Amino acid sequence: MKVALYARYSSDNQRDASITDQLRVCRTHAEKQGWTIVEEYTDHAISGASLMRPGI
């Protein structure tokens, strides 16, 4: 199965490493499932409530 990963953090108070950590967990899960990662999307300091996010 082909999959895309999406990670984000919502405020300036959070750190970029949060996205790195999220992607690491997602990559590990995808590998265990035998999935092929075809794309990764990220949003930095953007609320999940907004549909105007560049990563989606």
Total number of domains constituting the chain:
1
The pTM of the full predicted model, rounded to 2 decimals, is 0.70
Q: Is residue 7 part of a domain?
A: yes
Q: Is residue 10 part of a domain?
A: yes
- pLDDT of res. 8: 84
pLDDT single digits (tens) 1-56: 999 999 987 765 556 578 899 999 999 999 999 999 999 998 876 555 555 655 55
Range of the domain at 31: 2-44
Contacts of 27 (CB under 8 A, 6+ apart): 5, 37
Q: Is residue 26 part of a domain?
A: yes
